[in-house]
Chains A and B, each alone.
Chain A
């Protein structure tokens, strides 16, 4: 199978990365080369193989639900590109 320009644009929309036509065409070529290489996996029959979901083979630990950090509002907002007192600011969403 091959990835067409329409698919590239659809993926870029899903990934929230805007691309122009020139970039989309280049990406189409790159992605097709990479997927050609990935298709090698289809040589293998994996019908009876269980998917590996965790390499660490441990069950996730529970911890007590307790507050460990307090008054970190300032720290959290420190790196925000545009700030207004206690909020993150984004372009208007609701008209």
Chain B
């Protein structure tokens, strides 16, 4: 048997069910490794003591019918966890201890999983490098001083470094898929309405979705099966029959029509990414898929649209942080001064920038020019996909326009940071499911990902295509454990 922490969710679950491993042994192995991995800075809050107790409790009365029997899992610190501090990577929530549980995490615990701790992320999930977190940078296990992507950077790093078997992140414009791509892991953003948003710290409510981040596609299907559910507590949750994703997982994609959008061939895209894409296309052909050239004419307008819609929604959502009901408060002479000081000291620069953009585009006299305009362009972007999906079953693109960059490299130029999400943002705007799978490496040996985009509620199809491609690609992450301390 291979080292416990390097095992996939599928392997760990099988080993527990076959009584080759106990929940206690597994939980202890992940905690021991975490204690030696502080340099990566993946944890904001750990739950190690309680996790050990819970694993013992599981072992004393195990239920092997559950889908995650006694499996320890760390989650992004954007999910509210009852009694465990939830910060969203922000000073303003530094002392916030929820008295309720998010539906998605509740789904994990109901299937036997055990909370290992809360993972670092960009502040309020606003960022593409995990550098906006109040709790500091996360190191990418792929190489020292490399960003792990963002906003789910602690999550992607934790999966790649074998600090959690799987995790869940959230994705508003690419926050699951881009970090997955940067760390050589798998990340899936489900269709809008698949996974409940209840209890997730809100960023942009019409775009936010929770999703699995895993070592491989099979684990991804297993975790999606657990977290995707209809929920009365989320008014945009959709009641439809969800697939038995792991059971229906299949490499047979013969005859599937896969679209290749010409607009994703952007200027200055590195040759390596062009080559990666070509390889992906030829693997898909080898699997019997039919490749069809398609056009998504409004692709170039997606990012500017996103940078109106997302900050507008964020400025409304973040209005609740006023220092009155919970979170950080800075005292003031009067109520207004208290609000202004609390928000000025409690939020970091990127969050303030986005609140300012959002407030501006929603302010009197500018609403039509910006927000309404963006909602109209969003319709055009969605229509591009509707048209494309009348001809194809899925779309294949690169996940990101570059591999992981150095910490500090893009922090002074917000727009260049935003360009990271050029291939992922359109999918959120259109509410579609998308998955990033590791597909190769660049000249520095840093991982690169391919993205498979599907029709609404067609997660099974993109999982199957990814499963077939994963087999052909045969990606190996060879991470050296350079950060481990004794």
Contacts and interface: CB of A to CB of B under 8 A. Distances in A.
Q: Do A and B come from one complex?
A: yes
Contacts of B238: 56, 58
Given A15-B343, A16-B336, A17-B343, A58 B193 contact: yes
B206 to A, nearest CB: 6
B324 A18 contact: no
A37 B303 CA distance: 9
Nearest to B360: A11
Interface residues of A, number: 50
A19 B344 contact: yes
Nearest to A74: B99
Given A19-B344, A58-B236, A88-B325, A34 B372 contact: no
Contacts of B305: 41
A4 interface: no
A34 B415 contact: yes
Interface string A21-56: 000000100110110011111111010011111111
15 contacts: A15-B343, A17-B344, A31-B360, A37-B304, A37-B307, A39-B304, A41-B377, A49-B377, A55-B382, A58-B193, A61-B232, A80-B325, A80-B326, A81-B323, A91-B335
B360 A46 contact: no
Contacts of A7: 360
A41 B51 CA distance: 50
Given A52-B375, A90-B338, A14 B323 contact: no
Contacts of B353: 27, 30-31, 34
A64 to B, nearest CB: 11
A18 B344 contact: yes
Contact of B335 (A11, A12, A40, A90): A90
Contact of B334 (A16, A31, A80, A91): A91
A52 B359 CA distance: 20
A52 B335 CA distance: 37
B332 A91 contact: yes
B363 interface: yes
A45 to B, nearest CB: 10
A92 to B, nearest CB: 7
B347 A17 contact: yes
Contacts of B377: 41, 44, 46, 49
Contacts of B333: 91
A83 to B, nearest CB: 10
B235 A80 contact: no
B380 A15 contact: no
Interface string B91-105: 000011101100000
B136 interface: no
B404 interface: no
Nearest to A46: B376
A67 interface: no
Contacts of B363: 11, 14
A92 B334 contact: yes
